[in-house]
Amino acid sequence: MKLENMFKKTRISSRTQGHGFGRTMRPEVPEGLLRKCNKCGAAIIAEDVKAGYYICPKCGGYFRVHAYRRIQMVIDEGTFEEWNEDLTGGNPVNYKGYPEKLEAVREKTKLHEAVVTGKGRINGIETVIAVCDGRFLMASMGWAVGEKITRAVERATEERLPVIIYACSGGARMQEGITSLMQMAKTSAALKRHSDAGLLYISVLTEPTTGGVTASFAMLGDVILAEPGALIGFAGPRVIEQTIRQKLPKGFQRAEFLVEHGFVDAIVRREDQRKTLTQILSLHGYEAEKAAAGNGETGREDYRQDPADSEESVKQAAAEEGPSAFPHHQSLTAWDRVQISRKIDRPSGSDYIRELFTDFIEFHGDRNYGDDQAVIGGLARFHGTPVTVIAQEKGTSTKENIKRNFGMPMPEGYRKALRLMKQAEKFKRPVICFVDTPGAFCGIEAEERGQGEAIAKNLMELAGLTVPVLSIVIGEGGSGGALALAAGDEVWMLENSVYSILSPEGFASILWKDSSRAHEAAEVMKLTAADLYQRKIIEQIISEPEGFCQDNLKEVTDRLEPQIRCFLQTYTQLSEEELLDRRYQRFRKF
């Protein structure tokens, strides 16, 4: 794998460039020099590249970035304090020529080792940061790299700071033998302690992240981001090709492939990374100037102290709503409501996310198999307070319906939801789910990957999740596929949404061997919001305007908003024990 940066491979057309880059952060590219892009071959001005995040202005290709430049791009100017700068390792297996090799690389790069660690601020938010530098023996992880990362993570745990690691590595440092292998376990163990302390770790994967680094700290982020097109994998592509004697498909092991396969939360362009990192840190309760106080604890405070939201006034507002507040819909039959719940222009999960929340950032993948498009999830703010939002998403056009499998999740959709719920628990955020599915997908792949197991696990984990969980059925609440996101503290339904054991068609087909009697089945099944409210299956009904669609969605979200506030106010004040006991009794009664 070639790790030389672009400039070394291109001809320099005027005076020779120096290697004075290092602690001084002096740019190594003399101004105004003309270069040739090693990706598209275009002539580009070095200064433009430097000012433009080391992205080719012609082809958009990403050039590799040295550690100090990376820190310059991300960290507030003048706030970076480097730790263990001079730390170097030995020659644990007395590998011949290794000390000389290291000496030569040090001379050339002006780096002591392949990672730079320390503390700095991003838009005022204090964070620990470690950045690998590919110029140093492919940023392979020997003792010194592992030790510097471990020390940085340990200190972050002590000082209750978040950690950001920019990974880039060829993997283990072969010259250090088994000592190098041990660094994988050492760094992972330090991150485990950091995580158990309730602290945030963001991993940013850059070209290339491979081998023992991928198989340790790089893949352990609470949030894993990647640069577009970055090569990320355990085994290098050439090793795989030699092993399986096949040519690998285009895009294999690229960042986009990793998102599709569920291992990366989001791809973030270089120019957006500072902003995105700030947003993620802030959504986890880390604030400018007083970072040490934050790990999401502030969320509970906010509900209690919001004077505009006295519980009384919210409850009164909520009480004005009820099953009788919408006379224009009273003549509808259950089957009519089934039809309305399925209308293609009915607002979908993402519409509610947009209307009710701010700062939404979507996180992809189940960290296991794939990213299910039928489930959207991520972080957002509700009246300033961070929440985890999860929505089953059908889409609102035929094209989108297909992309999102008509809102029928695969096992990986439920596993993504569970991953985000567990994350919400770690950071003490409430969870708000929007339910809208005809049911979990029935198919060969779904069975192969354990559809039943995925739903079952959600039910069990939800029973013990120590943060409030609210679910709102906005369209179809189909069977176990809906319940897997609706086994929390309260379930609300939109007036014309439905929630049932099975579709009316399926019900008629199984019990009467005649799916055309679906309209009759709908009446028998007691699947309307009013029916379920009466049976205490749900706690609230949210009325809908006539001809409910995107255009009048605000009428519904205006009703939802004070009620969600009231829910959060009530449930965030409960102790974990009270919360879980209430939830247990909620289902125990049936």
Distance from the first to the final alpha carbon of the chain: 61
Q: 83-122 burial, b if ≥16 CB within 10 A, otherwise e?
A: bbeebebebbeeeeebeeebeebeeebbbbbbbbbbbbbb
Min dist. Cβ of residue 406 to Zn ion (A): 41
Min dist. Cβ of residue 60 to Zn ion (A): 7
Environment class of residue 247 by beta-carbon count within 10 Å: exposed (0-12), middle (13-18) or buried (19+)? exposed
12/332 with CB nearer Zn ion:
12
- Both tokens of residue 88? 């170097």
8-state DSSP, 249: P
Please choose, out of 29-37, 128-136, 192-200, 219-227, the segment that lies near Zn ion by the rule CB under 5 A: 29-37
Q: What is the CA radius of gyration of the chain?
A: 27
37/281 with CB nearer Zn ion:
37
Environment class of residue 312 by beta-carbon count within 10 Å: exposed (0-12), middle (13-18) or buried (19+)? exposed
Do 111 and 132 touch, CB atoms closer than 8 A? no
Which ranges in 395-551 belong to alpha helices (H)?
398-403, 411-426, 444-448, 451-464, 479-483, 504-512, 518-525, 529-534
Min dist. Cβ of residue 41 to Zn ion (A): 7
Cis peptide leading into residue 208 (ω within 30°): yes
Residues in the interface with Zn ion (CB under 5 A) total 7
Q: Which of 3, 6, 33, 37 binds Zn ion (CB under 5 A)?
A: 37
Using CA atoms, how far apart are residues 466 and 455, in angstroms rounded to an integer? 19
Min dist. Cβ of residue 33 to Zn ion (A): 16
58/160 with CB nearer Zn ion:
58
- Both tokens of residue 349? 């999960």
Which 340-379 positions form the footprint of Zn ion (CB under 5 A)? none
63/406 with CB nearer Zn ion:
63
6/172 with CB nearer Zn ion:
6
50/300 with CB nearer Zn ion:
50
| Torsion sign, CA atoms 327, 333, 335, 336 | negative
Min dist. Cβ of residue 61 to Zn ion (A): 5
10/123 with CB nearer Zn ion:
10
116, amino acid identity: V
Please give the angle made by the CA atoms of 172, 137 and 58, to the nearest 5 degrees. 110
Min dist. Cβ of residue 47 to Zn ion (A): 15
Using CA atoms, how far apart are residues 299 and 176, in angstroms rounded to an integer? 46
56/219 with CB nearer Zn ion:
56
35/416 with CB nearer Zn ion:
35
- Both tokens of residue 243? 């092993």
Phi, psi for 208 (deg, rounded to 5): -105, 150
Please choose, out of 31-39, 73-81, 139-147, 179-187, the segment that lies near Zn ion by the rule CB under 5 A: 31-39
Environment class of residue 495 by beta-carbon count within 10 Å: exposed (0-12), middle (13-18) or buried (19+)? buried
Min dist. Cβ of residue 58 to Zn ion (A): 5
Min dist. Cβ of residue 52 to Zn ion (A): 11
6/156 with CB nearer Zn ion:
6
63/217 with CB nearer Zn ion:
63
Of 89, 88, 57, 159, nearest to 118 by C-alpha is 159
Using CA atoms, how far apart are residues 250 and 237, in angstroms rounded to an integer? 11
Pairing of strands 115-122, 125-132: antiparallel
Element at 108 (helix H, strand E): helix 98-109
58/274 with CB nearer Zn ion:
58
Min dist. Cβ of residue 229 to Zn ion (A): 12
Phi, psi for 415 (deg, rounded to 5): -70, -35
Min dist. Cβ of residue 43 to Zn ion (A): 10
8-state DSSP, 437: E
Please choose, out of 32-40, 62-70, 281-289, 326-334, the segment that lies near Zn ion by the rule CB under 5 A: 32-40
- The torsion of the CA quartet 309, 310, 311, 312, rounded to 10 degrees, works out to -120
Min dist. Cβ of residue 225 to Zn ion (A): 23
58/517 with CB nearer Zn ion:
58
Min dist. Cβ of residue 2 to Zn ion (A): 16
Min dist. Cβ of residue 62 to Zn ion (A): 10
Which string of x and - marks every residue 38-77 that binds Zn ion (by CB under 5 A)? -xx---------------x-xx-x----------------
Under rule CB under 5 A, residue 36 binds Zn ion? no
Min dist. Cβ of residue 169 to Zn ion (A): 24
65/149 with CB nearer Zn ion:
65
Q: Which residues of the shown chain bind Zn ion in the complex (CB under 5 A)?
A: 37, 39-40, 56, 58-59, 61
